[in-house]
Every structure is written in C-alpha cells, then in structure tokens.
C-alpha cells in the first residue's frame, strides 16, 4: 500500500502544473520555429503596407491568428474596407471553431476564466500540440497547464516576432524580399498531411486547392471563401457517396 502511494505521488510530481507548463512549451518548439519567420515577416509587411504600429501590434496582441493577420495585410494594401477584412478574417479563422468544439469535453471541469483563456489561445499550433496530450495518458492531471504552456510560448513568441518585424521592417524593408513568408505554407503543409487519411479528406484538400486557384482572381480574397466552401462540400459529398456505394454493396 505504501509503495503504491509513493509511486502515485512520484507520478503526480512529474505532472505538476509547473512541469506540465514547461512540457507544453517544449513540445510546441517545432511550431515556434515555423512561427518565427512568419511573425517577423508579418511585422515587416504590416509596416510597409501602411498599417499603423498600434494596429499591427494590436492584431498580434488581441487577435493572435497568424494566417488571418497575414491575409489582412494584403487586403489592407489593396485598400479593402474594414468590414470586408473582418468578414474575411471570420472565414479564414472559422476552422478554429472545430478546435473549440473538439476541446469541449476536455475543458469540462475547468472554470469559466480558464476556458476563456485557453480558448483565446486556440491557434492551429497550440490545438495540434494540446489535443495530442489530451488524447493520451488519461489519468494524469494538469493537462490544462500543458495547454497553457503551449499557448503562452506561442503568444510571447508571436508578439516578440511581430515587434521585431515592425521595427526591423522600417529599418530594413528589404527583409520583405527574403521570402520568409514561405514559413506559412511550409507549416500548414506539415499540418494538413495528418488529415489525409481518407478519400473524402483527399477530395476536400484537392478541391479546395484547385478552386483556390480558379477563383484566385476574385477580389477581397473571396477566392479563399469559395475554395473553403467547395472543399468542405467536396468532403461531405464524397463521404456520402462512398458510404452509399458501400451500403449498396
């Protein structure tokens, strides 16, 4: 009995809030590496696109959504009105609703402030890292600290890189030509690959990718919305078609 208690406390010590905080941060490291060039280039492009320092910094502080921030900069360069920018941001970030939905059962026990804080940090990267943790090791505690650690690391890094980009971007505008923005498709490709485990998923990805080019000429990045809708439709329809085919057999 005594041995079991000692083993139990040793295990709980390894999963203390503090250790989980660090573990979440450490496991997010590959995604931090992708976010650094991307954050810096966001700051640089925002500076050259005419966004005020406060607006660009405010985006990283209050919105904390890299891909939509990046797309916003190109929309602002094209003179898009702010309501359209907000609408595009909505579509681009809509995938985060799935992240929230997926986390509902795991955050059930947490207080409302905890839920709000963790929800604020539900970026692609933190979701990918945290959900991995929640899916394993069922009995061990303090997973919310793991989630928080990942989020804090991403948040601090993102804001620091934005600041670097905003300041360096004004001083060295040639940074914009270095191609650091490639970090975004590189990271996203790495994140899409795990989804490709079924035919409907392939259909969704291929359709969305193709339509995004066909509709690429549409103003205000509408092509992105059209492609996303097309991709989702393709996924749902092929799922339906394939299951009906199996049912007929």
Find the binding residues for other proteins in span 43-62 (CB under 8 A).
Answer: 51-55, 58-59, 62
- What is the nearest approach in angstroms of other proteins to the Cβ of residue 244? 14
Q: Does 113 bind other proteins (CB under 8 A)?
A: no
Q: Does 222 bind other proteins (CB under 8 A)?
A: no
User: In whole angstroms, how large is the CA radius of gyration of the chain?
Assistant: 21
Q: Does 231 bind other proteins (CB under 8 A)?
A: yes
C-beta closer to other proteins: residue 15 or 72: 72
Binding-site member from 24, 149, 169, 200 for other proteins (CB under 8 A): 200
CA angle 63, 195, 223 (to 5 degrees): 55
Measured CA distances, 115 to 46, 110, 149, 158, 237 (Å) = 31, 6, 14, 21, 34
- What is the nearest approach in angstroms of other proteins to the Cβ of residue 134? 15
Report whether 56 contacts 168 (CB < 8 A): no
- What is the nearest approach in angstroms of other proteins to the Cβ of residue 18? 25
Q: Does 218 bind other proteins (CB under 8 A)?
A: no
Binding-site member from 194, 246, 248, 249 for other proteins (CB under 8 A): 194
- What is the nearest approach in angstroms of other proteins to the Cβ of residue 40? 13
Q: Does 182 bind other proteins (CB under 8 A)?
A: yes
94's tokens: 């809509």
Beta strands in the chain (DSSP E): none
Tell me 43's DSSP state.
Answer: H
Taking each helix axis as running N to C, give the angle between helix 29-48 and helix 124-134, from 0 to 180 degrees, rounded to the nearest 10: 160
Binding to other proteins in span 136-155, by CB under 8 A: none
Q: Does 64 bind other proteins (CB under 8 A)?
A: yes
C-beta closer to other proteins: residue 124 or 144: 124
Q: Does 89 bind other proteins (CB under 8 A)?
A: yes
Cα 68 from Cα 85, distance rounded (Å) = 9
Q: Which of 55, 195, 215 is nearest to 124 (CA)?
A: 195
Report whether 121 contacts 64 (CB < 8 A): yes
Report whether 92 contacts 68 (CB < 8 A): yes
The span of 17-25, 115-123, 131-139, 148-156 binding other proteins (CB under 8 A) equals 115-123
Q: Does 173 bind other proteins (CB under 8 A)?
A: no
């Amino acid at each position: 009995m005594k041995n079991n208690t000692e083993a139990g406390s040793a295990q709980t010590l390894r999963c203390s809030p503090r250790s989980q905080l660090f573990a979440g941060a450490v496991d997010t490291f590959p995604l931090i590496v992708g976010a650094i060039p991307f954050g810096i280039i966001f700051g640089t492009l925002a500076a050259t696109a005419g966004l005020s320092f406060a607006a660009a910094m405010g985006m990283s502080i209050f919105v904390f959504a890299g891909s939509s921030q990046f797309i916003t900069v190109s929309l602002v360069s094209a003179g898009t009105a702010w309501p359209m920018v907000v609408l595009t941001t909505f579509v681009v970030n809509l995938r985060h609703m799935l992240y929230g939905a997926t986390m509902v059962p795991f955050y059930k026990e947490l207080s409302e402030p905890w839920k709000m804080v963790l929800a604020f940090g539900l970026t692609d990267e933190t979701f990918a890292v945290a959900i991995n943790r929640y899916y394993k090791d069922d009995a061990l505690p303090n997973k919310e600290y793991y989630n928080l650690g990942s989020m804090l690391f991403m948040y601090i890094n993102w804001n620091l890189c934005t600041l670097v980009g905003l300041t360096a971007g004004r001083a060295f505008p040639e940074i914009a030509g270095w191609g650091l923005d490639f970090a975004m498709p590189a990271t996203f490709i790495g994140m899409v690959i795990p989804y490709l485990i079924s035919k409907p998923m392939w259909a969704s990805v291929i359709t969305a990718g193709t339509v995004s080019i066909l509709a690429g000429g549409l103003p205000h990045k509408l092509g992105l919305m059209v492609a996303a809708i097309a991709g989702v439709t393709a996924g749902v329809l092929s799922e339906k078609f394939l299951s009906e085919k199996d049912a007929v057999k």
